[in-house]
Structure 1
Amino acid sequence: MINLKFLQFKSLLVIGLVFFSFKKTNSQERPNIVWIVSEDNSKHYLKLFDEKYGVETPNIEALATDGVVFDHAFSNTPVCSAARSTLIASSYGPRLVTHYHRNLKQVPLPNGVEMFPAYLKRTGYYTTNNSKEDYNLFKADNVWDDSSKKATWRDRKKGQPFFHVFNIGTTHESRLHFTQDDVKVPTKANQASMAIFPVHPQTDLFRYTNARYHDKMQEMDGQLGEVVAQLKEDGLYENTIIFYYGDHGGVLPGSKGYIKETGVHVPLVVRIPEKYKNLSPVAAGTRTNAFVSFVDFGATVLNLAGVEIPKGIDGQPFLGKNISKKQLDKRDETFSYTNRMDEKYDMVRAVRKGKYKYVRNYEPFNFDGLMNNYRYKQLGYQQWIEMYKNNKLNAVQSQFFEPKAVEALYNVEEDPFETNNLAGKLEYKNTLKSLRCNLNKRIKSMPDLSFYPEFYLINNAFNNPVAYGQLHKKDISRYSKIANYALLDFDKVKSKLEKSLNSQDTWDRYWALIASSSFGAKAKELAPTIKNISNTDSELVNRVRAAEFLGLTGSANPVSVMTEALYTCKDGPQALLILNSIVLMQDCEKHYNFNINESKINKIVLDEPQVLRRLLYLNSK
């Protein structure tokens, strides 16, 4: 007699073995994925993307012949730690507070969300990073099988799919920290034929700097070629999807650290082997105008690997199963942000939709050329500002050192260097309004935590920034509204500003002060109220912001208020924000004279390295 229970067990066993075998085979057939990342270069330096300013990169161009060239890829933010945090978290920095460079204190990811390679690792991928991380997030142990200068896919188990990141530092900003003696060293690139960005002075030094960087770009291209050759040598080339991209824009003056196209518009080429062509809605050897951003890269890798995309991230895949060409063609927007570059603060947000880019300068008095020590190690920066001081620049080249408009609109197809602000022109009224609403909606729905100063977030929100943002969503919306008074006619918002300046809420007053400063001399009649704030406010930074207004408008000398606030401060990050205003007052058109006595500054404040950078500059004047 047949034992039915035995047959049922045998059937289940066979089914299980078949399922296991299918799963194993399917795992082996999943694509390997490699990211090759060059540091600090926008798309402008590759002839593949820019005929006028770019250099030939034969290895990247070879990938493009049977890959997809993305003509509109963006890093969201223009500096490495913030950009890499956006990549690894697949989420917008202002929501997570990962958008400062570099965070003065690391933050956790939202509950239930992990750095995206952890999901690959959990499903059987061998994950390696060679070798730069530079995240503003707490380091997790479940992300990489190896993250080091020796990390390689060759250490995985036989047949195991892998995700490998290879970083190339050859094009990093530091490679342009050369001396006057180095300028005598010849370059392979022809200096005489170098095309110089119109925002830069057309000098021999800038021609040399461009030529030197072209050489570095070609050196980087050779290093990329070596990685591709290793894949071919290991018989993996036809089983591996390869991404090449720049980790953000740069690197000549006015690009890295600024959300101009030269700061966030990056090169991206994705080579997809024939066997995986079903994972791309775009045919090999072609280009796409679809807008893709760093926030989407993690979701895209997971989708290519057949891994479920977690609900708690912001990114949306642009390759992989269930992505159609119609969907891809509809993608025409990107969102960009920046707040602090090392010791320099300036809150700027931007939305680009198609050819139009809307830029919101929340602190327009913080001109772009405000001292940023690491930037000014470049001789080009030093020459640029010296020529400005000596009135040797034209109007376009001078914009970098002058106060900005509160909002700007650019047609970046016609004006790629964002020099012609269309915001005040009647024919662009509807476009301006639409993109302004787009940005405000993003900020409020996120919500954007930068409406609190960084030092306050460190002390009150860094244990769980996302939860803090949700808890204070209404407050952030109100602060955003107060900040946007600066977009309206002063006479229409004067009474609203006065109300906010007298609010019991600290940050209502803070943003009312910033909005008032944005109006400049138009808001001078608020000086009595603001002078009172500079002397009596319970929050040190509000006293400083009030003094900043008085200084910018010439209503009162800000030196004593700001200096006393610095000496009183017992918090390093707060002192850093105070010092930003001090440097602005010293270097603005009115050139207030500060004499900082370092011995009067609290020792806790002096423990913050970025504070020391500001003091080094101030004491050198």
Structure 2
Amino acid sequence: MNVFKVFLVLIVVSSCQTKKIMNQENATNKVQKPNIVYILADDMGYGDVSGLNAASGIQTPNMDKLVQNGVHFSDTHTNSSVCTPTRYGILTGRYAWRSRLKKGVLDGYDEPLIENDRPTVASFLKNNGYKTACIGKWHMGLGFQSKNSAPIKVEKEGSNVDFTKQIESPNQLGFDYSYIIPASLDMPPYVYVENGKAVEMPSSYTNGKTEKEAGRGVFWRAGEVSPSFVFDKVLDNFTQKTVSFIDDQKEDNTPFFIFFPLTAPHTPWLPTGNANGKSKAGRYGDFVTMVDDAVGAVVEALEKAGKLDNTLIIVTSDNGSNWKPEDKKAYAHRANYKFKGQKADIYEGGHRVPYMAQWKGVIPAGTQSGQIMCTTDLYATVAGILHKSITKEEAPDSYNIWPAYTSNVKVPIREAIVHHSHDGMFSIRKGNWKFTPQLGSGGFTKPKTLEPKNGEAPGTLYNMAEDPKEENNLYKKHPEVVKELSQLLEKYKVQGQSRL
């Protein structure tokens, strides 16, 4: 071979090696900064997803595809069994009972729950080069201004809110763009707020709906409403806004984060069009199919925009389903699967939720994880994906669960999870053990509280691996475990995790 040929070979080899290195660098960058779309259903139970419950009365093909193409966690818990505190925990990585909200939820006129100086997932990602958006139900308080500089006052047929004034909104918490309603779809004021401005003044008034007159699940409170605010169009409107936001990123290589909290299947249950009669779980089940349609629309939009392959899609719920005993009598469907209780309860059905994630080429398809996880873990997990360190002050109750998304991690990542009910009842889960120092549901299931009889255990201890239905109380059989978990719960009440 002459010198010229050798020179050509060296050039070709060098070019191939350079290309290989560039491809590796591109792959590394891709792994480090995916787009992130977090879809949060409202009151959807573990048993609603047909891919997780073969006996479900609802077919959810789009969520099932995420289960098939990505990972699903079978032991995921919301940090509260109702919505406001769970949403606070998702965005801050902090249990909401550490905030001013010790029980219950906010209403639509309440002041912001997230403290102004508290970092959020959105502000963290924004500081790391992301474009951020919040589209959907907020329900964590807004900074409304009154007409007369007096405290906000809500009366029978209106309020003294001046909707022409700027509103403190998600934009103050790290979101570049926001398009929201203040609270649940059954809570006034019924108005869209875009980037801290009311889209339309709530110049009308609704007398509300009651289940007695309209049927199970069709309920909303009386209050101020914008003239063109149509209750059964809100979910579709948010979905279209999210699709539009994704489409706008088509030519932009800036990574984006979308927090997409849905209004369904929370009351009012308002399925429309082809969704009516689609399930075997009544109006509620039909509304869940619309949640699935929203998931499908987002996935399709990502694909059309050429963003699907580099997007981490997460779908979960803010608490268990509000599937009551009367619903169980009417339908064979079990919205909360085999778990005890319902939304608001300290029981498993109150806070154990579906959780699935897809990132093509990064998360192995068909992965199932039994890793115990909490919704507060989003913050540290996102930081883990980006290889960024965070302090315990940033997200004191957040753990990096990312390793379990991509591999079969057997060792528990979390030391424990603290559960919290609507009425402020505590419980703690460590490994297979779940300890509750009181009796009763602490939520919607009766009795809410229960005094122990003579000789009866004052609390409960369950082995969740052997007894996921919480039927066999082992409180008296394992006093050493009761003591350990009781002390650990008290420790967690005063401090977050230890993070080096």
Deviates more, 1:317-326 or 1:124-133: 317-326
The CA RMSD measured in Å over matched residues stands at 3.5
Question: Hey, what does 2:66 align to over in structure 1?
Answer: 63
Question: Hey, what does 1:141 align to over in structure 2?
Answer: 172
% same residue: 26
Q: Does 1:285 align with 2:366?
A: yes
Question: Hey, what does 2:256 align to over in structure 1?
Answer: 162
Question: Normalized against structure 2, the TM-score is what?
Answer: 0.62
Question: Hey, what does 1:503 align to over in structure 2?
Answer: none
Q: Return the offset for 1:66.
A: 2.1
CA contact (8 A) 2:372 2:414 kept: yes
Q: Return the offset for 1:317.
A: 1.3
Whole-Å separation in 2 of the counterparts to 1:99 and 1:133: 19
Whole-Å separation in 2 of the counterparts to 1:175 and 1:68: 29
CA contact (8 A) 1:290 1:332 kept: no
Question: Hey, what does 1:336 align to over in structure 2?
Answer: 419
Question: Hey, what does 2:336 align to over in structure 1?
Answer: none
Whole-Å separation in 2 of the counterparts to 1:256 and 1:33: 27
Question: Hey, what does 1:472 align to over in structure 2?
Answer: none
1:36 to 39, 49, 72: 39
Whole-Å separation in 2 of the counterparts to 1:98 and 1:356: 27
Higher relative contact order (CA closer than 8 Å, sequence separation 6+)? 2
SS in 2 for 1:174: coil
Question: Hey, what does 1:297 align to over in structure 2?
Answer: 378
Whole-Å separation in 1 of the counterparts to 2:493 and 2:449: 27
| AA at the equivalent of 1:115 | T
Question: Hey, what does 1:265 align to over in structure 2?
Answer: 352
Q: Return the offset for 1:60.
A: 1.1
Question: Hey, what does 2:447 align to over in structure 1?
Answer: 400
Question: Normalized against structure 1, the TM-score is what?
Answer: 0.51
Whole-Å separation in 1 of the counterparts to 2:86 and 2:321: 13
SS in 2 for 1:220: helix
SS in 1 for 2:62: helix
Bigger Cα Rg:
1
1:350 to 399, 418, 427: 427
Whole-Å separation in 2 of the counterparts to 1:147 and 1:334: 31
Question: Hey, what does 1:124 align to over in structure 2?
Answer: 129
| AA at the equivalent of 1:295 | T
| Map 1:195-594 → 2, pairs under 5 A | 210-253=281-324, 254-274=341-361, 277=362, 283-312=364-393, 313-314=395-396, 315-319=398-402, 325-326=408-409, 329-331=412-414, 333-338=416-421, 341=422, 346-361=423-438, 368=443, 400=447, 403-405=450-452, 406-424=458-476, 426=477, 428-445=478-495
Whole-Å separation in 2 of the counterparts to 1:326 and 1:415: 23
SS in 1 for 2:71: strand
Q: Which has the higher helix share?
A: 1
| AA at the equivalent of 2:426 | R
CA contact (8 A) 1:260 1:417 kept: no
Question: Hey, what does 1:386 align to over in structure 2?
Answer: none
Q: Return the offset for 1:69.
A: 0.9
Whole-Å separation in 1 of the counterparts to 2:468 and 2:440: 23
2:115 to 89, 109, 117: 109
Q: Does 1:72 align with 2:75?
A: yes
Question: Hey, what does 1:94 align to over in structure 2?
Answer: 97
SS in 1 for 2:437: strand
Whole-Å separation in 2 of the counterparts to 1:120 and 1:213: 35
Q: 1:186–1:287: structure 2 CA closer, same or farther, 3 Å change rule?
A: closer
CA contact (8 A) 1:291 1:332 kept: no
C-alpha offsets along residues 398-445 of structure 1, whole Å, 9 cap, x if unaligned? x63662554111234454443443323x3x333323322221221243
What number of residue pairs does the alignment pair up? 354
CA contact (8 A) 2:420 2:426 kept: yes
CA contact (8 A) 1:304 1:321 kept: no
SS in 2 for 1:347: coil
CA contact (8 A) 1:249 1:262 kept: yes
SS in 1 for 2:59: coil
